[in-house]
Structure 1
Amino acid sequence: MHAWPASEVPALPGKGRDLRIHDTATGGRVTLDPGPVARIYVCGITPYDATHMGHAATYNAFDLVQRVWLDTKRQVHYVQNVTDVDDPLLERAIRDGKDWVELAEGETALFREDMTALRLLPPKHYIGAVESIPGIVPLVERLRDAGAAYELEGDIYFSVESDPHFGEVSHYDAAAMKALSAERGGDPERPGKKNPLDPMLWMAAREGEPSWDGASLGRGRPGWHIECVAIALDHLGMGFDVQGGGSDLIFPHHEMGASHAQALTGEYPFAKVYVHAGMVALDGEKMSKSKGNLVFVSKLRRDGVDPAAIRLTLLAHHYRADWEWTDQVLEDAVERLGRWRAAVSRPDGPSADALVEQVREALADDLDAPAALAAVDRWAERQDAEGGTDEAAPGLVSRTVDALLGVAL
């Protein structure tokens, strides 16, 4: 599977700062200190509907992580998956009378178009669940043979008790875990499981559903969590720098993925830091495909909204905050984009050297994009009120906003 084209990232004078970011597992901020190559895995879409603002906000957050790292003169090894076979996808295909493969391919293509329009940097490896099955099967077999997994009526389950570190990503109690498991694709009430929280690694073939050869596992398809583990271990290895996604992935997805990998390798931790983006709401409720309360990137683009304004709407909110999409927040972003473009269109202006460092410092401080926007606002206000004589300033502002915020002026 291929990703989308990368926009060029301008080089800035000097060097960026190391990123201090909130780690879900420890509950505090840590300073990331990757080697020359920073490694990040971000969980991708299940492609049964178009990219909505919740998706865009999450991937925008991890695009900022990449940009901060690039500004420190590091390379970035970014991996993202596509869950191109799963129950919600199959259910949507049946509902709409579509072939599930065509549905997945079409929505993945639209996702790529949206990411390109928003100028989000692509992953180095963009990997689908289906193409990963040959690598998933041996991992499930290893877990089973090591006693970390067991069979139940042909399905293979992971035993959460096989990982002594289970629970150290979310720190939720058993009652919360059970409730979230039931809400987010688990089956805690299934009779015969050793622990209600045990997640499925391999689902035996069901009539009328796609299945693949699972060698000693029999025909079937992989569970959700082991998919990401297989891809991450293959392309990044254990102990990579950041595991990212929306806050709704803390449990069960990231908790279970960590335990799968740790039980497989005997190493700890799966990822050094767990970073999670907040949720975007519409009309008082979190945007979700199941509820249908969605604002789509592609629909806004078709309506003539500049993708740079969409991106500024996202950047106006701290990545960890839950916030609500309204017509007003988009209007504010459109107005801000116009002011910035007018400011950098002039032949000279006030010095922008301090602005570069202010934006760097804001983003290094737990990706404080609103503070970065405020710094650019202040420069634009000075340009409007006083002007300046620095001929290099407007170009430097444009390059800074492009390189660090991904917005083309």
Structure 2
Amino acid sequence: MLQIYNTLTKQKAPFKPLVEGHINMYVCGITVYDYCHIGHARVMVCFDVITRYLRSRGWNVNYVRNITDVDDKIIRRANENNETVEQLTERMIAAMHEDEDALSVLRPDQEPKATAHIDEIIALVSTLIEKDFAYPAANGDVYYRVEKFAEYGKLTNQNIDELRSGSRVAIDEAKESPLDFVLWKAVKPGEVSWESPWGAGRPGWHIECSAMSKCCLGDTFDIHGGGPDLPFPHHENEIAQSEAANGCAYANYWMHAGPVRVNSEKMSKSLDNFFTIRDVLGKYNPEVVRFFLARVHYRSYIDYSEESLKEARVMLERFYQSLNGMAGYEYSKEDADQVNISDFEQRFNAAMDDDFNTPKAVSVLFEMVNELNKLKKSSEAGAAAMAHKIAELGGIIGLLQQDPDAFLKGDDKEGEVDASAIEALIQQRTAAKGSKDYAESDRIRDVLAAQGVILKDSREGTSWFREG
């Protein structure tokens, strides 16, 4: 049975969908004012793995991930660039999709934009005003009355009295309470805006997700996910808005990905340890980056470092080295049964059913690699069956779908010897061995090894791969 850790209840429990066999999931997406960074990649990959696995087990998943395409940062950046908000956001959305495609992140079923749901946002704010959970202020903004929602703080165990005592209000503050947050912002000079019953303006960040999730999934849905920085105040405010307006539970399960740290420090531009996805992909194979992100449990923090990525490369190489050359072999169901493939598959699924425990699932895949290497010496058909299942289970989490030989040879990077030069040196080495010039043969092997190219001799000839 699938077990999920629920941030709301602070415990792991069996998953029970609203509709048998169906899962409606909403994940807070990107604010598209800049290129996506490695923290965004973590959330993308986490929920992609979760979605892939659920579908592999027969669930009908409706995965919604929004795009925030209007907010303060976007407006400020567009002005700095001397371009429109739409020009900036469309460019950044295209870049985000490029990054996702490189990381083999499947597109969500729905990808609503905030600017396409202004009518729904205005309707939701109007409902909150009608129910006295919100009020228009003298400055033209509309605010949510936090203290009227009795359960405010339930997601993150925030005490409203402590929140109030820790807040400060400026003398000219238009809010009734320091805790109140904005639902609709009055337009300022040079800003994009829409007409509303309270004057021209634009939505606050929190109300956007409440409106978009309601539009795509209804008043109550199964899973709400997001990054580590969202539980407070963003998700807390979403709950307050949606449950006050709709009069029912918002999301039944809350899931949050863990943070990315850089050499054990918080990632920050001010610390000069901030990496965009494309920065990282310029140095590492995209599958290495995906494996690095996916092999750590989604709720755990992950430490980004050159050493961690090199380790991920070495681990992935081990998979592909074992799978290399296995595609052409045939096998039967009986061959698979004889090598206990079903036992490995059951343990893989059991790990993933336990709150998507990818570290344990990956460890099962490594056990299968060990078994594959043994079977290569005793059972060609059994080895083929094991290799097929390794690739199949790896595919469930978006891994091991490349041609092994192509992965091991890799793309030519700046500063690396290119593939044609490697092949030429291998031919020279083969000729040297043919003439029994073993000193020259060893010299060429050492030259390539010094450049991270490892040779592997067999009856069929010499193959090679790049060392991580």
- TM bucket (normalised to shorter chain) is 0.7 to 0.9
SS at match of 2:106: coil
- SS of the equivalent of 2:66 reads strand
> Per the alignment, do residues 82 and 178 of structure 1 end up closer, same or farther by CA in structure 2, a change over 3 Å counting?
farther
Which one is further off, 383-392 or 43-52? 383-392
Name whichever of 58-67 and 168-177 sits farther off: 168-177
- CA gap of 1:188–1:394, structure 2 versus 1, over 3 A, is farther
Matched, 1:122 2:122: no
**Change in 2 beyond 3 A, CA 1:177/1:75:** farther
Tell whether the 8 Å contact from 1:351 to 1:393 is kept in structure 2 after alignment.
no
Identity %: 31
RMSD over equivalenced CA pairs, Å: 2.4
Q: Is the 8 A contact 2:37 2:277 kept in 1?
A: yes
User: Could you tell me how far apart the structure 2 residues matched to 1:25 and 1:197 are?
Assistant: 21
User: Which of 311, 321, 332 is equivalent to 2:290?
Assistant: 311
**Cα offsets for 1:43-75 (capped at 9, x unmatched):** 000111212111111122212221232122121
SS state at 1:260 partner? helix
Unpaired stretches in structure 2, ≥5 consecutive residues = 330-335, 403-468
Do 1:177 and 1:252's aligned partners in 2 also have CA atoms closer than 8 Å?
no
For residue 286 of structure 1, the aligned residue among 266, 277, 283 is 266
Q: What does residue range 261-280 of structure 1 map to in structure 2 within 5 Å? A: 261-267=242-248, 269-280=249-260
Query: What secondary structure is seen at the aligned counterpart in 1 of 2:112?
Result: strand
The equivalent residue for 1:33 is: 16
Report the more deviating stretch, 282-291 or 310-319. 282-291
1:141, 1:217 within 8 Å by CA — same for their partners in 2?
A: no
If the length of structure 1 is used for normalisation, what is the TM-score?
Answer: 0.87
- What residue is the counterpart of 2:446 in the other structure? none
Alignment of 1:241-390 (within 5 A): 241-267=222-248, 269-288=249-268, 293-303=273-283, 305-347=284-326, 351-385=340-374, 387=376, 389=379, 390=382
In structure 2, what is the equivalent of residue 198 of structure 1?
Answer: 180
Structure 1 residue 287 displacement after superposition:
2.4
- Is structure 2 residue 370 aligned with structure 1 residue 402? no
Give the 3 Å change call, closer, same or farther, for CA 368–193 of structure 1 in structure 2: same
Match of 2:214 in 1: 233
Q: Which residue of 200, 210, 213 corresponds with 2:192? A: 210
> Any gaps of 5 or more consecutive residues in structure 1?
1-17
CA shift for structure 1 position 93: 2.8
Instruction: Say which SS state the counterpart of residue 129 (structure 2) adopts.
Output: helix
Distance in 2 (CA, whole Å) between partners of 1:358 and 1:326 is: 31
Sort the Cα spacing of 1:376 and 1:190 in 2 relative to 1 into closer, same or farther, 3 A.
farther
Contact persistence 1:42–1:80 (CA under 8 A)? yes
Question: Which structure 2 residues correspond to residues 6-17 of structure 1 after superposition, within 5 A?
Answer: none
1:95, CA displacement in angstroms? Answer: 3.7
Instruction: Give the residue type in structure 2 aligned to 1:331.
Output: K
Match among 11, 25, 46 for residue 61 of structure 1: 46
What are the superposed Cα offsets for residues 217-255 of structure 1, whole Å, 9 maximum, x if unpaired?
211000111100111011111221111001210011111
Residue 458 of structure 2: aligned partner:
none
Instruction: Tell me, yes or no, if the aligned pair for 2:293 and 2:302 is still in contact at 8 Å.
Output: no
Return the offset for 1:179: 10
Measured after TM superposition, the shift of residue 117 of structure 1 is 1.7
- TM-score (normalizing by structure 2): 0.77
1:76 aligns with 2:61: yes
Map of 1:156 onto structure 2: 142
Structure 1 residues 196 and 129, CA gap change in structure 2 (3 angstroms): same
Deviation at 1:20, TM superposition (A): 1.1
CA gap 1:179/1:79 in 2 versus in 1, 3 angstroms: farther
CA distance, structure 2, for counterparts of residue 41 and residue 221 of structure 1: 23
Q: Which stretch shifts more, 353-362 or 34-43? A: 353-362
Matched residue, 1:219: 200
Q: 1:27 to 1:198 in 2, by over 3 A?
A: same
Cα contact 2:49–2:294 (8 A) shared by 1: no
Task: Please give the alpha-carbon distance, in whole angstroms, between the structure 1 residues aligned to 2:154 and 2:367.
Answer: 42
Larger Rg: 2
Measured in 2, the distance between the counterparts of 1:85 and 1:109 equals 16
Note the C-alpha offset of 1:188: 8.6
Deviation at 1:124, TM superposition (A): 1.1
Verify: 1:393 aligned to 2:393, yes or no. Answer: no
Contact 2:26 2:63 in 1 (8 A): yes
Conservation of the 8 A alpha-carbon contact between 1:140 and 1:201: yes
Counterpart residue identity of residue 22, structure 1: Y
1:167 partner amino acid: G
For the 8 Å contact 1:279–1:287, the answer to whether it is kept is no
Counterpart AA for 2:233:
P
Indicate if the aligned counterparts of 2:146 and 2:152 stay in contact, CA closer than 8 A: yes
Give the count of matched residue pairs: 385
